[in-house]
Amino acid sequence: MGIRGDGRIDVVAALVRSAFLVDAVYAESSREFGITSQQGQLLCVLMAQPYGMGELGAVLRLAKSSVTGLVDRTERNGLVRREQNPEDTRAVQVSLTPEGRTLAEAFYAETCRRIDLLPASLDAAERDTLAELLGRVVLANEVPVVFLERDERH
């Protein structure tokens, strides 16, 4: 842990600030697609597969009443749909509508493009190293699949 005397940023501040950066990109990208960050996040999660309300709460780390509201608003925008789960009458499956999938793909692609610009000052090897180290961090901390890798879609 400890204080670094070498004039370089410490790992904690670097993590917090890069998170701030990513959030800003996410927010700006969402805005340009006419949705909120949260709705954008929901669309990205649903790109992989449909989820029940409870599962969505676990993935997005939201209380269940929050999920109800988010899905309500996104459904009202025509991007998402609640379907009956035939196995369990009370349960619901939330999935993308066709328009939702189209928007999700576009939003995801554009957001990826912009996030990818952030480490533009690193060379290929450094980017690989960053990806590997950060990848291990998120793996060790069991981050839910809130954002797909490029080969995880569909």
Residue with tokens 């189209």: 102
Q: Which of 83, 88, 99, 126 binds DNA (CB under 7 A)?
A: 88
Q: Which of 18, 22, 33, 36 binds DNA (CB under 7 A)?
A: 36
Q: Which of 25, 43, 44, 71 binds DNA (CB under 7 A)?
A: 71
Contact by Cβ (8 Å): 22, 100: no
If we measure between CA atoms, which residue out of 92, 103, 98 comes closest to residue 30? 103
Q: Is 150 helix (H, G, I), strand (E, B) or coil?
A: coil
Contact by Cβ (8 Å): 147, 40: no
Q: How many CB atoms lie within 10 A of CB 27?
A: 13
**Rounded least distance, CB 36 to its own copies, Å:** 15
Q: Which of 25, 43, 46, 70 binds DNA (CB under 7 A)?
A: 70
* 119/123 Cα distance (integer angstroms): 9
**Rounded least distance, CB 71 to its own copies, Å:** 19
Which of 102/130 has CB closer to its own copies? Answer: 130
Compute CA 60 distance to the chain's CA centroid, rounded to the nearest angstrom. Answer: 9
Q: Which of 9, 21, 85, 102 binds DNA (CB under 7 A)?
A: 85
Residues in 15-34 that interact with DNA by CB under 7 A: none
Q: Identify what 69 binds: DNA, its own copies, none; CB under 5 to 8 Å per kind.
A: DNA
Q: Identify what 99 binds: its own copies, DNA, none; CB under 5 to 8 Å per kind.
A: none
Exposure of 98 in the CB half-sphere (CA atoms within 13 A): 0
Contacts with DNA, residue ranges (CB under 7 A): 36-39, 52-55, 61-73, 82, 85, 88-93
